[in-house]
Structure 1
């Protein structure tokens, strides 16, 4: 394969990249408000992410994860679309509805493979504290914590699983001002 040649002036130094990669947000999104979305967008801008992908999960997936959801998938997607339309931000906010097309249980591992394969890295995962406690129990967690950085939203104020402290350098907590 031939390489593309480019011409640059003598002494040219490529400017450092100021933007990071893609952050995936896994959540039910049924209790998110415009203020929550603005708080997330502000946080993502401060972190200098290029793109945020919101990934609502199908109710069958949530049921298998023991995460309660009052609203059906399509209603949560509609609500999230409305929030994304009204978000005022400089980063690209996208909604991925692949799990809704599947209409069945999708393991978190499968969803993460799907998202990381189609988006440029580096990759970050933003999940609530109750999702984090579920994610740490999966056998694939050890593989994923090496491939992406984890941000845990203090949304439900539940104590975090003690196993997370073994990976303290790969995750951090985020407070977006949720009032749950």
Structure 2
């Protein structure tokens, strides 16, 4: 198969890629409103992400993580779908329902590996402060904090785990409730 030749002027350098990779959003999403969604979208667009993947977790996974969810998985997905319908953005948005098909506990590192296989890098993991406090205690955290940056949104206003201070250059906090 022949390749197409491209002619460029002498000294041409391609423009730098200003678009970033993928942000994975882990949350129950049952208490998200248009305000949080619009705040997240505004933040993601300001950071020039290519893609955002929303990943609601099955109630079995949440139960094993000691996170209470009032609504069942399918209701939270339906709520998230209704929020995403009203979003006007250039960002490529995906709602991943893999955990709903599994219908059982899925470790966080398994979910991250699954999402990373099919998404362009670099990776950013966005989760609430209560999720981040749990994630930092998992053995796989040290591996993932090297592969991805952590974005913690201060939804529940809980103090952050002290172990995060060891990786202070790999995470940041944002507040989506106030529009980023």
The TM-score, its normalising length taken from structure 2, stands at: 0.95
Aligned to 1:77: 77
* C-alpha distance in 2 between matches for 1:108 and 1:34: 26
Greater relative CO (CA pairs within 8 A, separation 6+): 2
The gaps in structure 1 that reach 5 residues or longer are: none
In 2, Cα distance between equivalents of 1:127 and 1:5: 45
Q: Secondary structure at the match of 2:176?
A: coil
Per the alignment, residue 150 of structure 1 pairs with 150
Deviates more, 1:137-146 or 1:82-91: 82-91
Deviation of 1:3 after TM superposition, in Å, equals 8.4
Q: CA RMSD in A?
A: 1.4
- Report the equivalent of 2:121: 121
Say whether residues 1:34 and 2:34 are aligned partners.
yes
Indicate the residue corresponding to 2:162 in structure 1: 162
1:142, CA displacement in angstroms? Answer: 0.2
Q: Deviations over 1:21-80 (max 9, x none)?
A: 000000000000112111110010001101100000000000000011000000000000
Q: Show structure 2 runs of 5+ residues with no match.
A: none
Q: Does the 8 A contact of 1:52 with 1:94 survive in 2?
A: yes
Residue 58 of structure 1 aligns with which residue?
A: 58
Name the SS of the counterpart of 1:177 in structure 2: helix
| CA distance in structure 1 between the partners assigned to 2:74 and 2:46 by the alignment | 31
Is residue 110 from structure 1 mapped to residue 118 from structure 2 by the alignment? Answer: no
